[in-house]
Amino acid sequence: MPKPIPADPWQGFRPGNWQVRTDVENFIAANCDPYLGDDSDLTGPTERTQALWVQAQMLQQAARATARRSAGPGGTPAGAFGADYLDRREELIYGLIDPLDVEQLPVGSDCRQLALYGSERLRRLGMQLGAVETVEALAGCYGLDIGRPAATAQQAIQWTYLALLATRDPLFGRRRSVTGLDTFFDVYFQRDLARGLLVEEEAQELVDDLMIKLRLPQPTLSELYLPLAAGVDPEGRPLVTRTDFRFVNTCYNLGPAAEPHLLVLWSAALSGAFRRFCGEVTIDTSSLRYARALPLPQTGLAHTFSPDALGATRTEQVENLGLWLDGQPEGDHLGINVFGREALLSTLTRPNKFAHLTVQLAEGAVDLHSLSPLGRRQVLLQLLGSFER
């Protein structure tokens, strides 16, 4: 049974200047609380998530085989939007865009404004009218009324995702970062959990659904970085939220992946629990990138460790990886691979068995299955020659 949608979209939020002017950062500062727990209560993928992810992977395989997704049922011709689904009955977050549509999309701004204020208010203020009209047309294809602010966490993610799809920002070129989704969504999750509209499994399920969509091949979102723990609390310390843990947890629920790049804004002041969890996920999946500050430099670095080089036990490996990150220069953004030599050598000889691996290169992460046989071999040989001593 569908859960009730509150009549007042802002009910339960703390007041602030964000109510009288469009100021998403003030909204977050007034309403986002740091998470002081650990990863022990995170949930795994639901059966619905697993089934949807299988369909998404089939679409990815088809896209790699044909270079672009064919316009099947629900597909759209060039220059027009239309509803497109993986599984309409099972999806929690709607929206796919065909590559043919990309050149006609307008430049956008802060995609979170749509969820917080709704398109009607943005129209009245004359803000990014072309982008607002485009996302309204896209939302209409799915029967969604985005005129009012999002009233639930599900709507906040849906509104923001549609705005992200329907806008592009040439200032970032291919290296585009979208900051503050973790803290913004966390405010909605906190409110919905407190008023009984969600349980933790459902909150994780929504994050998993969003990440499924962001992992699909979409030219508008090419090289998309999602910085985590980029906010600060009232005392100026890194702001880690429960949703930061949820985003990182998708590397377990959906498996390793290169895109979108999950970029952790690393600091010695991060909570110990989040530092440990990021270290564990890096060791297990090699799917996180790290930086000290934004914006990102144009080039990055990649380092490859064998597990034994980091420590004799998992606890030592996680701790030593964190200490190594603490000592890295602030001007770099980098990826970390943790692989045994034997695993990489096995991948060279039996590449199909290990095609699920994600590896970090200087310019960003890449999934081995996305590479040609020659490209895969070159990457593996590069990694074998780059182990940290």
pLDDT band at 103 (very low <50, low <70, confident <90, very high): very low
pLDDT at 114 exceeding the cut of 50: yes
CB of 159 closer than 8 Å to CB of 114: yes
| Residue 378 neighbours by CB under 8 Å, 6+ apart | none
CB of 382 closer than 8 Å to CB of 368: no
Q: Averaged over 297-321, what is the pLDDT?
A: 91
Task: Characterize the bridge pairing of strands 261-265 and 224-228.
Answer: parallel
State the pLDDT at residue 172. Answer: 37
Pair of tokens at residue 4: 């009730």
State the pLDDT at residue 73. Answer: 41
| Residue 388 neighbours by CB under 8 Å, 6+ apart | 303, 304, 305, 309
CB of 49 closer than 8 Å to CB of 209: yes
State the pLDDT at residue 166. Answer: 75
State the pLDDT at residue 80. Answer: 52
- For the chain, the farthest-separated pair of C-alpha atoms sits apart, in whole angstroms, at 62
The more confident residue out of 81 and 356 is 356
pLDDT at 383 exceeding the cut of 70: yes
Compute the distance between CA of residue 234 and CA of residue 31 in angstroms, rounded to an integer: 11
55: left (phi over 0), alpha (psi -120 to 50) or beta: alpha
State the pLDDT at residue 219. Answer: 53
Compute the distance between CA of residue 191 and CA of residue 31 in angstroms, rounded to an integer: 10
Residues 319-359: pLDDT tens digits?
999 999 999 988 788 999 998 777 778 877 776 666 678 88
Helix or strand holding residue 367 (H, E): strand 364-367
Q: Which amino acid does the sequence have at 240?
A: V
pLDDT band at 23 (very low <50, low <70, confident <90, very high): very high
Residues 257-287: pLDDT tens digits?
988 889 999 999 999 999 999 999 999 999 9
Burial of 387 (0-12, 13-18, 19+ CB in 10 A): middle
Compute the distance between CA of residue 148 and CA of residue 347 in angstroms, rounded to an integer: 51
State the pLDDT at residue 366. Answer: 87
Residues 174-210: pLDDT tens digits?
456 788 999 999 999 999 999 999 999 999 999 999 9
Q: Crossing angle of helices 24-31/112-124, nearest 10°?
A: 130
Compute the distance between CA of residue 222 and CA of residue 94 in angstroms, rounded to an integer: 19
Compute the distance between CA of residue 104 and CA of residue 276 in angstroms, rounded to an integer: 44
Flag the least confident range among 38-52, 173-187, 226-240: 173-187
Flag the least confident range among 98-102, 312-316, 385-389: 98-102
Pair of tokens at residue 89: 């009955």
pLDDT at 72 exceeding the cut of 50: no
Tell me the pTM: 0.90
Compute the distance between CA of residue 287 and CA of residue 251 in angstroms, rounded to an integer: 7
CB of 51 closer than 8 Å to CB of 90: yes
Compute the distance between CA of residue 97 and CA of residue 244 in angstroms, rounded to an integer: 27
State the pLDDT at residue 271. Answer: 95
Please count the residues of the chain: 389
pLDDT at 108 exceeding the cut of 70: no
State the pLDDT at residue 174. Answer: 45
The more confident residue out of 339 and 316 is 316
pLDDT at 370 exceeding the cut of 70: yes
Helices (H), 142-218: 153-165, 181-194, 200-215
Q: Averaged over 205-222, what is the pLDDT?
A: 81
pLDDT at 389 exceeding the cut of 80: no
